[in-house]
Chain A
Amino acid sequence: MSSPTRDTMLLKTPFHSRVEAACALNDWGNWMGYTTPNAYFDVELEYFAVRSTTGVFDLSPMNKYQISGPDAEAYLNRLVTRDVAKIGINRVGYAIWCNDAGQVLDDGTIFRFSDNEFRLCSYQRADDWLAWNSLGFDVTVENVSTDIAALAVQGPTSCTILTLLGCENLNQLKPFGMAHYEFEGRPLMVSRTGFTGDLGYEVWVPPESAEALWDQLFELGRDYLIKPFGSHALELARIEAGFLQANTDFMPAEEVVRVGRTRNPFELGLGWLVDFNKPLFNGRAALAKVKEKGSKYRFVLLDVDGNKPAEHSFIMKNGKVVGTVTSAAWCPTAKANLAYAQLEMPHGVVGDELIAEIYYQRELHWTQLYAPCKVIEAPIFKPARRWQTPAPPH
């Protein structure tokens, strides 16, 4: 299978034959260069599969890099802002990486297999940046994106279904843990990770196992009401859960043309991922300065009055625009009207009361609305099952 580039036709994932058969609405989109379903049968019901039963999302197009060698940990510690030494073996860590100016390039997850073996999962393609940074380190960086097929299996019954698949004692796996199994004679790895904010796992297999994995999952999961879900449902789930999306909530610094459109980790609410105890990492000096002098922006979650999503809204304080919304949705499980916004400092401390200028259209008639909103500390949706170990059966 060839690697995706910008000038190829859309590619098909190893699950494509199954995905196509399940995609009753024939509604397709382009996600990272692959043909992926926007919706399979009903966006709303797909979203609710994730929240009430189990939803399955084909995340094979994610960029995956295997990083190995004696300097693997040191290399990653140079690359990302958090301390990789604190990620234990068979654990997964969320991380961001910056350029030398301390501006965020991307976010992703680091899987640690052993002392010297890691996998970095990123949203952006990072071959160039990763190779460039490896100079001077005894490390091998390999793009394994097409060598691994992956499904996100997310929702309250997901642990039960994967246990039936042969993942013994999976309910003992802690959040951000990894476990290794065999599936039809080939390796199968499960991590308790996801992008939905619910109890859920990601399952990683060689592409040769993909179709059989899909078939067995759906066969075993039938009594546990397993359903596939597409990109639209995922978008709703991730907003409700409070997850940032590159290119939506921030611009990857490498792609930014205009001055001032990049963001540092503190401006994205990700300061907790910056570990200044590390003597050296990309952007450290710049970020130390930012930390001292303060940032220009603050990234906040807003609880917006009423039921009209504050998509693309200006955020105002005392009649003056102080920021804009990056993502917004009416969240069906939290029953809240949530928005993410980037605000100019010093606005946006928790409890700050602001106004969202919302425009919405009904039958070609536009209405302008000034909806009061309030800065909240954390997403409203936070089900106990997401963090419980042992994981509950449903």
Chain B
Amino acid sequence: MNQYDAIVIGAGHNGLTNGAYLAKAGLRVAVLERNPYIGGATVSRELHKGWYYSNCSYVSSLLRPEITRDLELPRHGLQVVPFGGGATFMRNGDHFGNYADHDRHYREIARHSKRDANAYDRYAADTSLQTKLIRPYLMRTPPDPTSLKPRDLRDLMEFAQSFMSLGEEKLLDTIKFWTASVGDYLNEYFETDVIKAHMAGSGIIGTALGVYSPGTAYVLLHHYMGDVDGNVGAWGFARGGMGAIANALSKAFQSFGGDIICDANVDEIIVRNGRAVGVALKDGTEYRAPIVVSNLDPKRTFLDITNPKDLPASVVKKAQNFKIRGSSGKLNIALDGLPVFNGLDPRNRLMAGDLHFSDSLERQERAYDDWKAGTWSKDPYLDMMIPSLTDPTMAPPGKHMMSVFVQYAPPKVEGREWTDEDKDGFEKSVIDQISNYSPNFKDLILHCETRTPREIEAEVGLTEGNIFMGELTFDQLLFNRPFPGYAQYRSPIKGMYMCSSGTHPGGGVMAAPGANAAREILRDLKRPNTVPGGYADD
């Protein structure tokens, strides 16, 4: 029968993580997935024969090592390989290379500016300080600042203490940091346009804000706080594409006896007497469970699959006003060979890193201006990678797979829906930009999958195509995520929970929301906790 102890809606990485920890605690769990395949935005798909695309999320750093180890994901086939470094190509034919080796990095910055090369160490120390403040809270439930419960008070006190212990000057820096724009933050350290532009990219990725918008310094931090094998800020590829993460999580989940049910499109969470009792699919099938966990974003959770009459009106309003603006698109390209870029030896290992073409904050801000005007950027900010230079399983030998994250793309074009013509124009702006720096690029294209916010929303179910399931601005972080009063993974309906990236600590393939939510559910069920604590970050 379709009776379970818990049902998780959505087989993305957080849904699978949540399911795994509930199943590990002995619950009978089903994860329901709308698509015929699992993974959500953590997926590898063979859309051109022989080429595998990580066609949504494309790099890994935030995935919590505590979860990887605890769920034995390597045993279940997961291997994360760092790529280290990257480059920004400049319009004058030069480039800035970001090397992982400290001495090489120093020499490369010094080639552009000796002062900046010295300032980098100060920048790195200050930014590391901020990551140290936030990292201990990733594997924890945010405290409720309005609660008088001992646990909330204790956590709040600890939170306050870690800030107060900084001392006056660093505390002031911190307060400024959390509200500053990434542009202003970088201006305090560097004088060279291309260096600032290279680093600023992390402050806008996935966010409908520009490099000079307040709050983007935190977004930079969100991209720095992850690690690969203890190298904080490092990023890597999952061997076999991002789907390898979802696949390993699903195997861990199944090893605890969990069921994954694909092609199960949830229509509504069934609520009886103020309690969630199961879900009804669009095809009429019903699954029953006293625990229902939504891994959908907050808008879809409260406006789509929950009947508003079952919710307090204030929560419906909060969901309506939740900020989840689409800002990006993606091109996944099968290439017949390795593109050559002006000024960089194709054998240089920077080619295996993250590549960009916006060589000034000015150009990045102008790209955002286009978004505000309701259109895609004519001179977009690209985060481009060639994972097949690191992972031989992504494309046939000598051929390459290219992943191009594109910022900005509005959820609607000048207020109306995207058309196929718009999509072609968006694709052209990206391909033209790359071609400006790579003479052989266009000739190498064998296949290109272009995804505007329209496709991302329709295929993956991310509202407006927002990759973080809600913007990462301070009004939507920590105890404000997704809404004040509901940041501890519980919904207003008894038995119904949230575990998506729309909850703390937010987007990126982190798996922390799924794990944190499982811990809260097990607490309510008075079951022993199966979720590991975070590693000390000292």
Contacts and interface: CB of A to CB of B under 8 A. Distances in A.
- Most chain-A CB neighbours within 10 Å: which of B68, B229, B239, B391? B229
A77 B75 CA distance: 39
Interface stretch (A120-128, A290-298, A326-334): A326-334
A393 B82 CA distance: 22
Contact of A41 (B69, B349, B390): B349
B285 interface: no
Contacts of B81: 48, 51-52
A209 B68 CA distance: 45
A53 to B, nearest CB: 6
B392 A156 contact: yes
A42 interface: yes
A42 B65 contact: no
B397 A52 contact: no
Contacts of B349: 41-42, 45
Contact of B392 (A224, A335, A362): A224
A332 B397 CA distance: 26
B535 A45 contact: no
A257 to B, nearest CB: 37
B392 A394 contact: yes
A307 B535 CA distance: 7
B538 A367 contact: yes
Contacts of B229: 44, 330, 332, 335
A151 B391 CA distance: 23
Nearest to A39: B101
Contacts of A225: 389-390, 392
Interface in B381-422: 389-393, 397-398
B392 A53 contact: yes
Interface string A344-388: 000000000000000000100001000000000000110000000
Interface string A46-83: 00100111000000000000000000000000000000
A306 interface: yes
Nearest to B70: A335
A362 B349 CA distance: 30
A223 interface: yes
Given A44-B231, A335-B73, A157 B101 contact: no
B502 to A, nearest CB: 27
Contacts of A41: 101, 349
A48 B230 CA distance: 15
A380 B392 contact: no
A336 interface: yes
Interface residues of A, number: 29
A25 interface: yes
Contacts of B231: 44
Contacts of B538: 362, 367
B446 interface: no
B103 to A, nearest CB: 8
Contacts of B65: 307, 335
Nearest to B237: A52
Contacts of B398: 223
A45 B229 CA distance: 12
A321 B104 CA distance: 43
Interface string B58-71: 00000001001100
A25 B390 CA distance: 20
Interface string B74-114: 11000101111000000000000000110110000000000
Contact of A52 (B73, B74, B103, B239): B239
Nearest to B349: A41
Given A223-B397, A367-B538, A52 B230 contact: no
Contacts of A306: 535-536
B65 to A, nearest CB: 6
Given A42-B101, A45-B349, A52-B79, A381 B390 contact: no
Interface string A309-345: 0000000000000000000001011111000000000
Nearest to A54: B392
Given A306-B535, A362-B538, A52 B101 contact: no
A17 B478 CA distance: 56
Contacts of A380: 74-75
Contact of B393 (A333, A381, A394): A394
B118 to A, nearest CB: 19
A119 B349 CA distance: 39
Contacts of A52: 79, 81, 239, 390-392
A371 to B, nearest CB: 11
Interface string B33-76: 00000000000000000000000000000000100110001110
Interface in A8-55: 24-25, 41-42, 44-45, 48, 51-53
A233 to B, nearest CB: 13
Contacts of A307: 65, 230, 535
- Most chain-B CB neighbours within 10 Å: which of A42, A332, A335? A335
A42 B65 CA distance: 22
B75 A333 contact: no
Interface string B519-538: 00000000000000001101
Interface string B219-236: 000000000111100000
Nearest to B347: A222
A48 B69 contact: no
B392 A157 contact: yes
Contact of A42 (B79, B100, B239, B397): B100
Nearest to A334: B74
Contacts of B390: 48, 52-53, 225
Nearest to A157: B392
Interface string B234-251: 000001000000000000
Given A48-B82, A53-B392, A225-B389, 18 more contacts: A24-B104, A25-B104, A42-B84, A42-B101, A42-B349, A45-B82, A45-B83, A45-B84, A52-B81, A52-B239, A52-B392, A224-B392, A224-B397, A334-B74, A335-B74, A336-B69, A380-B75, A394-B393
Interface of B: 65, 68-69, 73-75, 79, 81-84, 100-101, 103-104, 228-231, 239, 349, 389-393, 397-398, 535-536, 538
16 contacts: A41-B349, A42-B349, A44-B100, A45-B84, A45-B100, A48-B82, A52-B390, A52-B392, A53-B392, A224-B392, A225-B392, A332-B228, A332-B229, A334-B74, A335-B73, A335-B229
Counting from the closest, the 3 A-B pairs by CB-CB distance are: A223-B398, A223-B397, A332-B229
